[in-house]
Amino acid sequence: MTYGDVRAVDGVSFTVAPGEFFGLLGPNGAGKTTTLEMVEGLRKPQAGSVRIDEHEPWKREPALQRRMGVQLQSSSFFERLTAREQLDTFGALYGVAAGRTDEMLEQVGLVDKADIRTEDLSGGQKQRLSIACALIHDPEVVFLDEPTAALDPQARRNLWDVLRTINDSGRTVVLTTHHMDEAEVLCDRVAIMDSGRILEMDTPAALVRGLDAPVRISLAPGTLSADDARAVAGDDAVDTDESGTTITTRDPSRVLSDLANRDALAGLSVKGASLEDVFLELTGREYRA
Amino acid sequence: MNAFRSLARAMLKGFFRDKMAFFFAVIFPLMFLVLFGGIFTDQGASKSEVIQIGAVPVLDDTPREVKASLAESLEITTSSDEKDAIEQVRKGDADAVISQRGDELVVRYSQADQVKAATVQGTFQAIVQSANIAVTGEAPRFSLSTDQVEDDSLKPIQYYTPGLMGWAIASGATFGAATNLVVWRKNGLLRRLRLAPIPTRSVVTARVAVSIAIAVVQAAIFLGVGVALFGLRLTGSWPMIVPLLVCGTLAFMAIGLLAGAIAKSEEAAVGIANFVVLPMAFLSGSFFPLDGAPGYVTAISKVLPLKHLNDGMLDTMVRGEGPAAALLPMAILLGFAIVVTAIASRLFRWDD
């Protein structure tokens, strides 16, 4: 897929199994949204093919569209309608009985906001409503484009619960995000994209293991004398400052059992690599627009 | 059908809840109707102010019944300061000064208001003539009787109601289509609807139906206010305004779609629509008649859809014409709609 001279998506290939929660990760401009648009049927690929079961989505067959739920990047609502009216309107487009609206308001926790116009909802409430609109016809596959963009931490956690419920009920979910913690918590499998290509694709745990990054073990100040710290760490790096002692090791089990033998576990914290480290390792640290 | 109905309902609610859109589509043009209705009613009734200097026996000796009829068109005040009186005429505070020198009646008037100047001259001419006849002591041989004929020139309210209504409908349909297209493209609703299992035509027909419904509401309010407050009299096949405004709405929606397709933002769409609609309203005679306009102006007005809508509405609403008078304007409006929609659809984008 090219825009002018830019190849927005170039040789991307992946399969999502029924019931899977699949994440497309990448920095801004990586090609996540364009990839999703091709899968949803908003764009026809210039080369290659996209299939949902036997359907080609760009043909926009109503039979397929009734099985697909889509939430687009922006909050796409009718102007000046209330939350309930939005759901009623989208429901009517999919030929859904009116009772579904109350069910969906319940599911996304907007019952008490039903008669508020969408313009007056908070960012998190809008996102939950737009997800409710995507689910109004009980679709088998759900596509979510950056559902938690621009939300505060509470609203994000809140939305994660909603997203988990969707997947737990057996639906296939494909989402794009640039929040690594989100992908780590929610996704069964993720593909990390940059410059229109998939760099890595696996479960979040496997990706983190594959990074083979050292583990940081921290202790409260005064738990370990400088000599003991050096003895425990062996060849590993030791860093002591006023916030405590930190040992960075690739053999955390040996260090931990050593510390346990010395009964020096006060204020212990163990930090392994996260998906974010994998992401930065793959996509580099330079600033993106 | 279900999709069409729910989309139309959503759009109608969106329109009637948008106080700004409602104001500019209905209240604003109505303000002009009230304004024009008021201004031109007063002007018709105003009298010519005449200042009489000293004794004017020709006037003073006229019979009482003549004086009474004079009072309907002239308001005569007396003054002794001739200079000041002439200064008042010069400034436009008075319309004429009369005085009598011997057997000569002197009328000094300003040509600033030609209608009043003619009234004043004609009136005193008649007074002098009848005084002359009275002096001869003979009965006049010729007499004058008058009888009014319905003419083509219309009372202001008869002219302005169709014109301003045309402008209101043009604004409503153009702005509605332009902003709707831009807002839905920008907030992603167009793409969202594209992924719903509904044909694109149900979105388009819903928008057309809503615009026509708004135009019907505008027309009903205009006619109601015109008839109730300003004595508008509907003559001829005025129900033909319904098919006329359907065709007009299609033509103006086409302009709106073109503006919406070109514009990158809602503000730009409104700007482009204004840039088209306001000059079009002037050039189509919505605000004042184009009878005295130069040839090139009438030539330009011929390609403007509002001109043809106004013509059709004037003919069928107030000029007493039959339904056939609406057919040519309707055909032109539909042709315009088809051509402009075709251009707009070439420039149409689903997303930015």
Query: What is the arithmetic mean of pLDDT over B267-273?
Result: 94
Query: What is the arithmetic mean of pLDDT over B150-172?
Result: 85
Of the ranges A124-133, B79-88, B181-190, which one carries the lowest mean pLDDT score? Answer: B79-88
Clarify whether residues A183 and A219 are in a common domain: no
Distance in Å, alpha carbon of A146 to nearest chain B alpha carbon: 14
Q: Check which CATH number belongs to the domain holding A256 and give it.
A: 3.30.70
C-beta of residue B26 within 8 angstroms of C-beta of residue B221: yes
Q: Which residue in the block uniquely carries the two structure tokens 């005084």?
A: B131
- Residue B1 pLDDT: 58
- Residue B239 pLDDT: 93
Quick check: is A34 in a domain?
yes
Residues 6 or more apart from A30 whose CB is under 8 A from it?
A193, A194, A195, A196, A283
Distance in Å, alpha carbon of B181 to nearest chain A alpha carbon: 12
Quick check: is A134 in a domain?
yes
Average pLDDT, chain B: 89
- Residue B68 pLDDT: 77
Q: How many CB pairs under 8 A join A and B?
A: 72
- Residue A114 pLDDT: 96
> Per the structure block, which two tokens stand in for A57?
């989505």
Clarify whether residues A257 and A124 are in a common domain: no
Residues A269 and A265: their CA atoms lie apart, in Å, by 9
pLDDT at B151 over 60: no
Clarify whether residues A190 and A218 are in a common domain: no
Residue B149's Cα: distance from chain center in Å? 23
Query: What is the arithmetic mean of pLDDT over B37-63?
Result: 76
pLDDT at A142 over 70: yes
Chain A contact for B200, CB < 8 A? no
Residue B86's Cα: distance from chain center in Å? 37
**Cβ neighbours of A227 (radius 10 Å):** 8
Quick check: is A26 in a domain?
yes
Residue of A59, A76, A82, A143 for testing the chain B interface, max B β-carbons within 10 Å: A76
- Residue B89 pLDDT: 87
Distance in Å, alpha carbon of A206 to nearest chain B alpha carbon: 35
Three-class secondary structure of residue A176 per DSSP: strand
Clarify whether residues A171 and A254 are in a common domain: no
Select the more confidently predicted residue: A287 or B222. B222
- Residue A1 pLDDT: 59
Of the ranges A218-227, B240-249, B263-272, which one carries the lowest mean pLDDT score? Answer: A218-227
Nearest to A65 among B6, B195, B351 (CB): B195
Select the more confidently predicted residue: B252 or A123. B252
CATH code for B47-136? Answer: 3.40.190.10
**What is the identity of the amino acid at B60?**
D
Confidence of residue A288 (pLDDT cuts 50, 70, 90): low
**What is the identity of the amino acid at A231?**
A
The pLDDT tens digits of the residues spanning B5-33 come to 999 999 999 999 999 888 988 899 999 98
Query: By percentage, how much of chain B surpasses pLDDT 90?
Result: 55
Confidence of residue B197 (pLDDT cuts 50, 70, 90): very high
Clarify whether residues A63 and A167 are in a common domain: yes
**What is the identity of the amino acid at B7?**
L
Burial of A235 (0-12, 13-18, 19+ CB in 10 A): exposed
Contact A74 B198 (CB under 8 A): no
- Residue B332 pLDDT: 97
Clarify whether residues A72 and A194 are in a common domain: yes
ipTM: 0.85
Of chain B, the end-to-end C-alpha distance in Å amounts to: 29
The pLDDT tens digits of the residues spanning B52-96 come to 888 888 888 777 777 777 877 888 888 888 888 888 888 888 888
- Residue A289 pLDDT: 54
B-chain residues within 8 Å CB-CB of A88?
A: 6
Angle at B207 between CA B6 and CA B317, to 5 degrees: 120
The pLDDT tens digits of the residues spanning B112-145 come to 778 888 888 888 888 888 888 888 878 878 888 8
Select the more confidently predicted residue: A154 or B198. B198
Clarify whether residues A222 and A263 are in a common domain: yes
Looking at the structure of chain A, the number of domains it has is: 2
Nearest to B74 by CA among B59, B63, B61: B59
C-beta of residue B280 within 8 angstroms of C-beta of residue B309: no
Quick check: is A288 in a domain?
no
Of the ranges A254-268, B54-68, B227-241, B271-285, which one carries the lowest mean pLDDT score? Answer: B54-68
Clarify whether residues A140 and A162 are in a common domain: yes
Q: Which domain holds residue A266?
A: 214-272
- Residue A193 pLDDT: 92
Residues A147 and A133: their CA atoms lie apart, in Å, by 13
Distance in Å, alpha carbon of A87 to nearest chain B alpha carbon: 11
Clarify whether residues A187 and A219 are in a common domain: no
Task: Give the C-alpha distances (Å, rounded to integers) separating A264 from A225, A226, A233, A261, B185.
Answer: 10, 13, 13, 8, 62
- Residue A115 pLDDT: 97
B-chain residues within 8 Å CB-CB of A66?
A: 197
Residues A69 and A19: their CA atoms lie apart, in Å, by 14
pLDDT at A253 over 90: no
Average pLDDT, chain A: 89
Nearest Cα residue in chain B from A65: B197
Q: Please write down the HEC assignment for all residues of A251-263.
A: CHHHHHHHHHHCC
Residues A21 and A40: their CA atoms lie apart, in Å, by 16
Select the more confidently predicted residue: A261 or A5. A261
C-beta of residue A59 within 8 angstroms of C-beta of residue A119: no
Confidence of residue A73 (pLDDT cuts 50, 70, 90): low
- Residue A138, phi then psi, degrees to nearest 5: 55, 60
Q: Check which CATH number belongs to the domain holding A31 and give it.
A: 3.40.50.300
Contact B195 A89 (CB under 8 A): no
Contact B196 A93 (CB under 8 A): yes
User: Could you state, in order of their start, the residue ranges of all structural domains in chain B?
Assistant: 2-40+154-347, 47-136
pLDDT at B191 over 60: yes
- Residue B153 pLDDT: 63
pLDDT at A15 over 80: yes
Of the ranges A170-179, A211-220, B140-149, which one carries the lowest mean pLDDT score? Answer: B140-149
- Residue A187 pLDDT: 95
The pLDDT tens digits of the residues spanning B277-322 come to 999 999 999 998 888 889 999 999 999 999 999 999 999 999 989 9
B-chain residues within 8 Å CB-CB of A75?
A: 187-188
Three-class secondary structure of residue B33 per DSSP: helix
Contact A80 B17 (CB under 8 A): yes
B-chain residues within 8 Å CB-CB of A77?
A: 187, 189
Of the ranges A259-268, B198-207, B234-243, B259-268, which one carries the lowest mean pLDDT score? Answer: A259-268
Clarify whether residues A158 and A237 are in a common domain: no
Task: Give the C-alpha distances (Å, rounded to integers) separating A147 from A134, A218, A288, B85, B184.
Answer: 12, 35, 20, 81, 19
Query: What is the arithmetic mean of pLDDT over B151-167?
Result: 84
> Per the structure block, which two tokens stand in for A131?
């997800």
Q: DSSP secondary structure string, A83-150?
A: HHHHHHHHHHHTT--TTHHHHHHHHTT-GGGTTSBGGGS-HHHHHHHHHHHHHTT--SEEEEESTTTT
